[in-house]
Chains A and B, each alone.
Chain A
Amino acid sequence: MTDKDKAKAYWKENIKYVLILLSIWFIVSYGAGIIFKDALNSIRLGGFKLGFWFAQQGSIYVFVILIFVYVRLMNKLDKKYGYDK
Chain B
Amino acid sequence: MISNMLVAEAVSVQNWTYILVGVTFAIYISIAIWSRANSTKEFYVAGGGVSPWANGMATAADWMSAASFLGMAGIISFAGYDGAVYLMGWTGGYVLLALLLAPYLRKFGKFTVPDFIGDRYYSDTARVVAVLCALLVSFTYVAGQMRGVGIVFSRFLEVDINTGVIIGMLIVLFYAVLGGMKGITYTQVAQYCVLIFAFMVPAIFISIQMTGNPIPQIGMGGKVEGGVYLLDKLDGLSTELGFNEYTEGSKSLIDVFAITLALMVGTAGLPHVIVRFFTVKRVRDARKSAGIALLLIAVLYTTAPAVAVFARTNMIETVSNQPYSDVPQWFKKWETTGLITFTDKNNDGLIQYVADESQNELVVDRDIMVLANPEIANLPNWVIALVAAGGLAAALSTAAGLLLVISASVSHDLIKKVYNPNISEKGELIAARISAIGAVCIAGYFGINPPDFVAAVVALAFGLAAASFFPAIVLGIFYKRMNKEGAIAGMVVGILIMLYYIVKYKFGWLDDTIPDKSEWWFGISPEGFGAIAMVVNFVVSIVVMKFTKAPPEEVQEIVENIRIPSGAGDAVEH
**Are chains A and B native binding partners rather than an unrelated pairing?**
yes
Inter-chain contact A57/B88, CB cutoff 8 Å: no
Inter-chain contact B92/A10, CB cutoff 8 Å: no
Given contacts A47-B232, A71-B291, A85-B566, contact A33 B98 (CB under 8 A): no
Inter-chain contact A47/B220, CB cutoff 8 Å: yes
Inter-chain contact A46/B99, CB cutoff 8 Å: no
Measured in the bound complex, the distance between the Cα atoms of B295 and A37 in whole Å is 25
Measured in the bound complex, the distance between the Cα atoms of B261 and A14 in whole Å is 24
Inter-chain contact B260/A30, CB cutoff 8 Å: yes
For the complex, is B256 an interface residue (Cβ under 8 Å from A)?
A: yes
Q: Tell me which of B19-27, B79-87, B157-165 binds A.
A: B79-87
Q: Tell me which of B221-229, B387-395, B502-510 binds A.
A: B221-229
Q: Whose C-beta in chain B lies nearest to the C-beta of A78? A: B565
| Min CB–CB distance B225 → chain A (angstroms) | 14
For the complex, is B425 an interface residue (Cβ under 8 Å from A)?
A: no
| Min CB–CB distance B78 → chain A (angstroms) | 14
Measured in the bound complex, the distance between the Cα atoms of B87 and A85 in whole Å is 37
| Interface size range on B against A | 35 or more
For the complex, is A27 an interface residue (Cβ under 8 Å from B)?
A: no
Residue in B99, B221, B223, B305 whose beta carbon sits within 8 Å of that of A22 in the complex: B99
Measured in the bound complex, the distance between the Cα atoms of B231 and A43 in whole Å is 14
Inter-chain contact A59/B247, CB cutoff 8 Å: no
Inter-chain contact B217/A57, CB cutoff 8 Å: yes
Inter-chain contact A67/B92, CB cutoff 8 Å: no
Inter-chain contact B284/A63, CB cutoff 8 Å: no
Q: What is the interface of chain B mostly: helix, strand, loop, or mixed?
A: helix
Inter-chain contact B221/A83, CB cutoff 8 Å: no
Inter-chain contact A67/B95, CB cutoff 8 Å: yes
Given contacts A21-B99, A71-B288, A85-B566, contact A63 B247 (CB under 8 A): no
A8-46: CB near B (< 8 Å → 1, else 0) gives: 001100100010011001000110011101000100011
Write out the residue numbers on chain B whose beta carbons fall within 8 Å of the beta carbon of A45: 221
| Interface size range on A against B | 35 or more
For the complex, is B294 an interface residue (Cβ under 8 Å from A)?
A: yes
Which of A10, A41, A75, A78 is the most central at the interface, judged by chain B CB atoms within 10 Å of its CB?
A78
Inter-chain contact B100/A18, CB cutoff 8 Å: yes
Q: Whose C-beta in chain A lies nearest to the C-beta of B229? A: A47
Chain B residues 381 to 417 lying within 8 A of chain A, measured CB to CB, are: none
Inter-chain contact B222/A46, CB cutoff 8 Å: yes
Measured in the bound complex, the distance between the Cα atoms of B91 and A52 in whole Å is 16
For the complex, is A64 an interface residue (Cβ under 8 Å from B)?
A: yes
Write out the residue numbers on chain B whose beta carbons fall within 8 Å of the beta carbon of A18: 99-100
Write out the residue numbers on chain B whose beta carbons fall within 8 Å of the beta carbon of A66: 95
Inter-chain contact B229/A70, CB cutoff 8 Å: no
Measured in the bound complex, the distance between the Cα atoms of B93 and A25 in whole Å is 10
Inter-chain contact B284/A74, CB cutoff 8 Å: yes
Inter-chain contact A70/B298, CB cutoff 8 Å: no
Q: Whose C-beta in chain A lies nearest to the C-beta of B217? A: A57
Write out the residue numbers on chain A whose beta carbons fall within 8 Å of the beta carbon of B379: none
Residue in B221, B229, B253, B290 whose beta carbon sits within 8 Å of that of A53 in the complex: B221
Inter-chain contact A35/B302, CB cutoff 8 Å: no
| Min CB–CB distance B466 → chain A (angstroms) | 16
Chain B residues 295 to 325 lying within 8 A of chain A, measured CB to CB, are: 295, 298, 301-302, 305
Chain B residues 525 to 562 lying within 8 A of chain A, measured CB to CB, are: 560
Write out the residue numbers on chain B whose beta carbons fall within 8 Å of the beta carbon of A84: 284, 565-566
For the complex, is B418 an interface residue (Cβ under 8 Å from A)?
A: no
Inter-chain contact A75/B284, CB cutoff 8 Å: yes
A-side residues, CB < 8 A to B, are 7, 10-11, 14, 18, 21-22, 25, 29-30, 33-35, 37, 41, 45-49, 52-53, 55-57, 59-61, 63-64, 66-68, 70-71, 74-75, 78, 82-85
20 examples of A-B residue contacts, CB within 8 angstroms? A7-B560, A18-B100, A33-B88, A47-B220, A47-B232, A53-B221, A56-B76, A57-B217, A60-B88, A60-B301, A63-B298, A67-B291, A67-B294, A70-B99, A70-B291, A71-B287, A74-B103, A78-B284, A83-B566, A85-B566
Known: A52-B81, A56-B87, A60-B302. 5 other contacts (CB 8 A): A10-B563, A22-B95, A47-B231, A63-B94, A74-B103
